[in-house]
Amino acid sequence: MEPITNPPWQWPASIVTRVKDGDSFVARVNRDVGFHGSLTFDVSLRLNRVNAAPVKTVHGQEAKQFLTELVKPNISLVNIETTKPYKYGDEWMAEVTLMDGRNVSDEMVKNAMAVYWDGTGPRPDIQ
């Protein structure tokens, strides 16, 4: 029997409230639940498919700053798709798309602020 998998959840027009490091952040998400109501809450998220240097390193601080400039906490809206729980903590893995259509994980890698990693095997070296 195959394991049950849930489809990704869409969180359009969300706002990042705080960047923790180069690959994790807190976002305020909103979901229309019908009956003229919505559910709004903050959730800790990690960028899906990538790994950034630890925030205590120089490159980690640069990655955090770059992510902050991309998502503009408490200013710009982003579209979020949560994909699965993070295996090491109380966070969810997320694909984040800026309103201009750019994927944040891909932008982090393209600008050498993170590397692609699927979460299996040893963490890739990041300077």
3 in any annotated domain: no
| Any domain includes 125 | no
Q: How far apart are alpha carbons 113 and 68 in whole angstroms?
A: 12
127 within domain boundaries: no
Which residues form the domain of 56? 9-32+39-116
* Residues 17, 28 contacting (CB under 8 angstroms): yes
Residue-wise pLDDT tens digits, 24-59: 999 999 888 888 888 899 999 999 999 999 999 999
Judge whether 90 lies within some domain: yes
Q: Is residue 49 part of a domain?
A: yes
Structure tokens given for 25: 């952040």
Q: How confident is the model at residue 2 (pLDDT cuts 50, 70, 90)?
A: low
Q: Which CATH number does the domain housing residue 63 bear?
A: 2.40.50.90
- Residue 123 inside a domain? The answer is no
Looking at residues 6-10, what average pLDDT do you find? 85
112: in domain: yes
